[in-house]
Structure 1
């Protein structure tokens, strides 16, 4: 009778130890076998995103001393993160350009407003690396389409200052488009964002009458429609790419640990059941009826 208690009890202990080992092993080394202390790919990109947030905060608060420190910290992490294979070469090249811009601004003693745009571009790009399916830059679609509507409405004015008002509205659209340029390039390359930037520049030149002084109203109308199409295409491509994360999500379950855990429960139940039976009938005798 005792063997019915001993065997499940021993198995329960063995599976409990195995289950604990599997859990602690995953906690220390992670699913890919890398220690979280040295930093996995996802952990390194999360650190990069945090460094970008601190850099943006320094720019927003116009803290040049903190800006030097945060830029150095970000640059050190970015050199390692770029070697993980995350993102795109075009995105990392754009980040390097923004870093160089901030460095020049800090050396020249510019106020935070002089490197705030570059800092925001970096922050949006690191966010796209860490959270591609919910990237903040994708929320700029409504903003840019609103800018485009303002440009079109200004252009359609019956007054003589229609082109001037539309050109002023284009400044806001260009600012927002430049802000998300690095993030869009980081997530899926720079082809779509480059097309949108080129179309926006062409439309602006038409409205300003600098290069295309003889441009008529129909040419501006066609360029505006083409610009809207490029903006929609930009965010459509971003949403499609968001379904394929740049950083593989960290595994949260382990089939071996689950099997050991369930086995532990089953053995514990069998041990308890056997013990209860032994308590009622310690010598295996049955009452006579």
Structure 2
């Protein structure tokens, strides 16, 4: 019985080690992402980004400027604390915030700095989702059907095949460029820099082809291939997005619950050890065969385990 109790304790200990190892393996490897997700400064960054976006949709210049100043200060604090290099994604958000503030200071229309507010919102959301291991819930992913619709409209315009076909497609291309620019920083934060650059380059290439079509210097066979690079780059950028079960606007959760895993594993180990000990204390006897007891009576004899 004592051996079985020791085996149960060993199994409990092994279970704890395995669960803790699984939690550690599932933890985000990005040091900066892990640190910013738990800092109060990063939480303020997220609130400031929300305030900027709300102010931009309402056209409230004063509120947007105040929230932009707060965001710049908070990002600067994070950058100094983390000692990040100039190529970090937080630097990209910081530069975008500074550019938005400059446009507001110049009293430009909200139409001109609203896209910057949107880029900031999407980028901060992507960083938060990435840091807690829920990159598939980032809001920038909702641009997949929007970009696909832009591409479909451009194709429809090209297929008209009249004098205004390429001019109409070029006008619709401007909307596609706006949408791709808005998600550029967020996609880079989600480790999609290569795919995002490919999409931006393909959009630029398509713009040149459409300009050539307007001038009548593009072959009809080539005009049917204008959208192929953009479609391929879009598919690569949003690969795996179709398998998401939750909407991209769902609130960011707690990611992989590492502390919960550790706590539950410890609880299970403790319960198994306690149950084994209680069983040993309440049943400290074993049934022996009479031949083992060295006596003819009774048929079975109980002896206390030492």
Q: TM-score range by the shorter chain?
A: 0.5 to 0.7
Distance change >3 Å, CA 173–CA 116, structure 1 → 2? same
For 2:228, which of 209, 225, 230 is the aligned residue? 225
Gaps of 5+ in 2: 1-26, 28-33, 130-134, 244-251, 283-306
Distance 1:261 1:109 in 2: 65
Instruction: Give the corresponding residue for 2:48.
Output: 51
Q: Any conservation in 2 of the 1:55–1:70 contact (CA below 8 Å)?
A: yes
For 1:258, which of 267, 273, 285 is the aligned residue? 267
Q: Any conservation in 2 of the 1:184–1:238 contact (CA below 8 Å)?
A: no
Gaps of 5+ in 1: 1-30, 32-38, 274-289
> 1:127 offset after TM fit, Å?
0.9
So what's the TM-score if we normalise by structure 2? 0.63
Distance change >3 Å, CA 200–CA 84, structure 1 → 2? same
> 1:250 offset after TM fit, Å?
5.2
> 1:259 offset after TM fit, Å?
5.7
Aligned residues: 227
Distance 2:95 2:220 in 1: 37
Q: Any conservation in 1 of the 2:76–2:94 contact (CA below 8 Å)?
A: no
Distance change >3 Å, CA 187–CA 211, structure 1 → 2? farther
Distance 1:200 1:79 in 2: 33
- Residues 115-134 of structure 1 mapped to structure 2, 5 A cutoff: 115-131=113-129, 132-134=135-137
Distance 1:206 1:239 in 2: 30
Aligned alpha-carbon RMSD (Å): 3.6
Distance change >3 Å, CA 89–CA 235, structure 1 → 2? farther
Instruction: Give the corresponding residue for 1:106.
Output: 104
Instruction: Give the corresponding residue for 2:57.
Output: 60
- Residues 1-289 of structure 1 mapped to structure 2, 5 A cutoff: 41-44=36-39, 45-82=42-79, 84=82, 89=87, 91-131=89-129, 132-209=135-212, 214-236=217-239, 249=256, 251-253=258-260, 254-255=262-263, 258=267, 262=271
> 1:170 offset after TM fit, Å?
1.0
So what's the TM-score if we normalise by structure 1? 0.66
Q: 1:80-136, CA deviations, whole angstroms, 9 ceiling, x for partnerless residues?
A: 4445599x9453343233112201111101232221100100101111112222011
> 1:74 offset after TM fit, Å?
1.0
Instruction: Give the corresponding residue for 2:248.
Output: none
Distance change >3 Å, CA 130–CA 214, structure 1 → 2? same
> 1:76 offset after TM fit, Å?
2.1
Q: 1:9-67, CA deviations, whole angstroms, 9 ceiling, x for partnerless residues?
A: xxxxxxxxxxxxxxxxxxxxxx9xxxxxxx95313334322211111112222222222
SS in 2 for 1:188: coil
Q: Any conservation in 1 of the 2:167–2:214 contact (CA below 8 Å)?
A: no
Distance 2:89 2:194 in 1: 11
> 1:188 offset after TM fit, Å?
0.9
Distance change >3 Å, CA 189–CA 142, structure 1 → 2? closer
Q: Any conservation in 2 of the 1:129–1:186 contact (CA below 8 Å)?
A: yes
Distance change >3 Å, CA 113–CA 96, structure 1 → 2? same
